[in-house]
A and B are shown apart, each in its own frame.
Chain A
Amino acid sequence: MRDRTHRAIATLALAGAVQLAFASPAAVFAQQQDTIATLNDRRVNLRAGTGNTAGIAARGMRLVSYTPKPAQLDSASGLAFINSDLAFRGTTVYQGNFSGFSIWNVANPARPVELSTVVCATDQADPSIYGNLLFISAESPRSRTDCGMQGVQDGKDRMRGVRIYDVSNPRAPRLIKNVQTCRGSHTHTIVPHPTDRGVIYLYVGGSSNVRDSAEVPELACSTGAVAENPNTAEYRVDIIRVPLRNPEQAAVAGYARIFQGLPRPAGRGGVSLGDTATGRWATGPSGCHDLTSYPAYHLVAGSCGSYGILLDARNPEKPVVLDAKSDLNFSLWHTAVFSNDAKRVVFTDEWGGGTAPRCRTTDPFRLGGNTVLTIDNGKMTQHGYFKMPAAQTNTENCVSHNGGLVPVPGRDIMVQGWYQGGVNVFDFTDPARPVEIAYFDRGPVNADTLVVGGSWGAYYWNGYIYSSELSRGLDILELVPSEQLSRNEIEAARLARMDEYNPQMQPRITWPAAFPVVRSYLDQLVRNRGLPAARTSAIASALTRAERTRGTTRRTQLNVLAAQLDRDARRAADAARVTAMAAAVRDLARATR
């Protein structure tokens, strides 16, 4: 006891000395800094306010509607009632909340209508929709099998895993199954069976603590390093199998140990330092924050601790690691979004977990933002970084968060939520130099203290951008033309219709044969001078003429134009775009009746 006291005292004495010597560490670090956060931006100094009362700055987009939270979830109490992610089907939007979820009808985006709200302590309730099945992630130890809000006293009442609801009647969702897992489900990702349409899999994201094995004995949950305990519930991704005709039979089918054998620095004599024999911990990811599946290419991108991992999921029960990348700048690989051709992938870094301010002028550029990687034959190469550039205050939690593609043909564009850093849209066609092209931002929820809020995720869905606001509700936005995004490009995006969209399961975007699609390429060639001005204006005139005709005449004119474009491509500065445009013109000719 005496010894302990002595050590505590000595530490106290030394603490003072060290503080004197390094009175201002923040100033010392300032010299190392590498920030892009600018004060010269209309998003800076916006008025604070709850609901829709805060100041707003927008460029290249406008707010179509703001809808407050349903009354049952409208409680400001830390994180307990914040909104989480979104899922989309037809005219229905599913919105998660740490204490349940809501279902909205957005047939009229100017006036969303609440169809139902389910109160159920869940944390974080990330939703996915598949037909009439709604999947909800439950991770928290307070989450109960009966959805009660009173917390868990007896571990047998605890529900950590994925809840499955039948939402065939969206006004009365019916809980049909609680699938329990050892560490709960922070997120989940649908990976459809490649051939059996009656089966889907859920890859479970999250790296929370392993529950007591007595809570769900049949799961036999245990902890430890893989080398010592091959059955450990850590260092793995759980895989749930859902038979769609009998979803109540959904269960954990197995798990994937995708972290074994990740590229580690080889030590002297090739011995890994992660080896338990050295006395050092076998560290490395213990789980993935989330995974993004792209079924059209059988790919899955996992964001797993200090690694971005690319998987081949042709056999969903046994995914194969194609490549893994690590980056000392990145704090926590969080989410991935593939480009539509699966040749690029944007990974995000949720430095600070989303509740901290990480967009201040003192925060480094390469932390808490995005990085773009190219994919070639299953191997990834890292290129540039991107971060929302407008400086935010100390009372605005801000870091890179969830988003998805904006379906503009010929460009790789993503819309993303940055918590209280707002929503922005950026172009990553050039993976080395992503550029911001639009934004929407509110002032802080509270000017004096950090009240967690902002955009959890922002997604393009059939013509509009939907943003789930943690503390305020649901925002629906619309792109408006600017120098960096033309009317034609916005119209072409609107033509790319989808039936169902879960941000963690990317659908492949296709565009119908249409003039706005062709003109999108043309606008891009004007913007990047990919063709001489004389040619672009001649092509514009040819398109105008063709649009005024119909039937065989139009078809003939379009085929002539396509042939001209083939010739243009040979000498164009941006030949690939001209070729893509020629293909779009031919599609249009074929579709002409």
Chain B
Amino acid sequence: MLRSGLYWTVLALAATACASRPQATPQTVPTPAGPAAHHHMPDLPATAGPGFTAADVRFMQHMIGHHAQAVQMAALAPTNGASEAVVRLAQKIDISQRDEIDMMKRWLRERRQAVPDEAHSHAMMMPGMLTTQQLAHLGAARGREFDRLFLNLMTRHHQGALQMVRELFRAPGAGQEPDIFRFATDVDADQRDELVVMERLLHALQD
């Protein structure tokens, strides 16, 4: 608790300090945060318990942040002139990942583990997540350009989620607890499916 309180103070100060920094030149071609961009805020405390490991707990904590950004991205679709197909996809991602955030929080609470709050969720930087610039860029895009950016960035975002699932199952003893096994496997299946949908939509854009 103390650790996290201190952290937030430092963060708040730093945020003020960099507010006046000039914005990076907007890129015309997005460079999504690839698998290399795997860094995030200092972890919340995570401990093993009956049937689950600390890696399981961390997976849930991290995925909450990952999901929170997907929800944020999805929210842009209806207002930024996205095509009907992209709005539908965004709606599906919005509903799916909101519910999953609730489920992950429930899982952590039931096991007396630290649950990331809103701010903490948004400050994480997990695989495939957008940088500030990318998010700003997406927020500024409209119509067809929004569709193109959204599909590209969300594709990377989903690939990042698949990477997190792979890493979970590689961690010793992790992914065995039935709820987390089911959830991680479902994230993999659902997001793979959405990757195919996005591939199709991107493709339609190119014609």
Interface residues of A (CB under 8 A from B): 4-16, 18-19, 21-22, 25-26, 28-29, 31-33, 78-80, 98, 123, 139-142, 151-153, 186, 207-209, 264-265, 267-268, 273-274, 280-281, 283-286, 289, 305-306, 326, 328-329, 331-332, 351-353, 355-358, 362-364, 367, 449-450
Chain A residue with the shortest CB-CB distance to B100: A356
Which B residues are in CB contact (< 8 Å) with A10?
18, 131-132
Return chain A residues, CB-CB under 8 Å to B182: 79, 123, 353, 355
**Considering residues B85, B88, B132, which has the most beta carbons from chain A within 10 angstroms of its beta carbon?**
B132
A-B pairs, top 5 by smallest CB distance, nearest first, are: A15-B122, A25-B75, A353-B186, A10-B132, A142-B176
Q: Is the CB of B132 within 8 A of A123?
A: no
Majority DSSP secondary structure for residues of B touching A: helix
Cβ-defined contact, B91 with A207, below 8 A: no
Q: How large is the interface on B (under 10, 10 to 19, 20 to 34, 35 or more residues)?
A: 35 or more
Is A28 a contact partner of B190 (Cβ separation < 8 A)? no
Q: Interface SS of chain A: helix, strand, loop or mixed?
A: loop
> A29 near B72 (CB under 8 angstroms)?
no
The reply to whether B96 and A14 form a contact with Cβ atoms under 8 Å apart is no
Which B residues between 118 and 162 are near A, CB-CB below 8 angstroms?
A: 119, 122-125, 129, 131-132, 135-136, 139, 155, 159
Instruction: Tell me whether A13 and B139 are in contact in the complex, defined as CB-CB below 8 angstroms, given that A142-B176, A306-B196, A449-B106 are known contacts.
Output: no
Pairwise interchain contact B91-A32, C-beta atoms closer than 8 A: yes
- Which positions 39-87 of chain B face chain A at CB distance < 8 Å? 39-41, 51, 69, 71-72, 74-76, 78-79, 85, 87
Shortest Cβ gap from A532 to chain B (Å): 46
Distance of A305 Cα from B89 Cα, bound (Å): 16
Which of A8, A78, A153, A283 touches B192 (beta carbons < 8 Å)?
A283
Q: List B residues at the A interface (Cβ < 8 Å).
A: 11, 14-15, 18-19, 39-41, 51, 69, 71-72, 74-76, 78-79, 85, 87-92, 94-96, 98-100, 102-103, 106-107, 110, 119, 122-125, 129, 131-132, 135-136, 139, 155, 159, 165-166, 169, 173, 175-179, 181-183, 185-186, 188-190, 192-193, 195-197, 199-204, 206-207
How many residue-residue contacts, CB under 8 A, span A and B?
Answer: 216
Q: Are A32 and B78 in contact (CB under 8 A)?
A: yes
Question: In the assembly, what is the distance between CA of A475 and CA of B119, in Å?
Answer: 45
Interface contact A332-B88, CB-CB below 8 Å = no
Is A328 touching B197 in the complex (CB atoms < 8 A)? yes
Q: Please measure, in the bound complex, the distance between the C-alpha atom of A264 and the C-alpha atom of B201, giving whole angstroms.
A: 11
A151 touches which of B69, B75, B176, B188 (Cβ 8 Å)? B176
- Please state if B178 and A28 are interface contacts (CB–CB under 8 Å): no
Quick one: closest B residue to A25, CB to CB? B75
Contacts of A142 in B (CB 8 A): 51, 176-178, 181
How far apart are the CA atoms of A568 and B28 in the complex, in Å? Answer: 72
Residues of B within 8 A of A33 (CB): 91
Cβ-closest chain B residue relative to A80: B178
Q: Which of B119, B125, B178 contacts A79 (CB 8 A)?
A: B178
A274 partner residues in chain B, CB cutoff 8 A: 199
B40 to chain A: which residues have CB within 8 Å?
Answer: 8
User: Whole-angstrom distance between the alpha carbons of A353 and B186 in the complex?
Assistant: 6
Q: Which residues of A contact B199 (CB under 8 A)?
A: 264-265, 273-274, 280, 283
Contacts A8-B125, A284-B196 hold; do A140 and B176 have CB atoms under 8 A apart? yes
Additional 15 contacts, C-beta under 8 A, given A7-B125, A152-B176, A209-B165: A7-B131, A8-B11, A11-B129, A19-B72, A22-B79, A25-B78, A29-B94, A31-B78, A141-B169, A141-B181, A152-B173, A268-B206, A268-B207, A281-B159, A284-B192
Would you call A13 and B19 a contact (CB within 8 A)? yes
CB pair A328 B85 closer than 8 Å: yes
Closest to B119 in A: A12
Report yes or no: B18 in contact with A151, Cβ–Cβ below 8 A.
Answer: no
Contact A9 B123 (CB under 8 A): yes
Query: With A and B bound together, what is the CA distance between A16 and B72 in angstroms?
Result: 10
A8 touches B123 (CB 8 A): yes
Note all chain B residues with C-beta closer than 8 A to A281.
159, 195
**Are A123 and B79 in touch, CB under 8 angstroms?**
no
> Given A32-B78, A328-B88, A367-B92, do A4 and B181 touch, yes or no (CB 8 Å)?
no
Question: In the complex, which residues of chain B have a beta carbon less than 8 angstroms from the beta carbon of A5?
Answer: 14
Chain B positions within 8 Å of A351 at CB level:
92, 96
Q: Which of B15, B131, B136, B179 contacts A78 (CB 8 A)?
A: B179
C-alpha spacing A268/B159, complex, angstroms: 24
Asked whether, in the complex, the Cβ of B173 is within 8 Å of the Cβ of A153, the reply is: yes
Could you tell me the distance between the alpha carbons of A280 and B195 in the complex, rounded to whole angstroms? Answer: 10
**Assembly CA distance A78 to B56 (angstroms):** 15
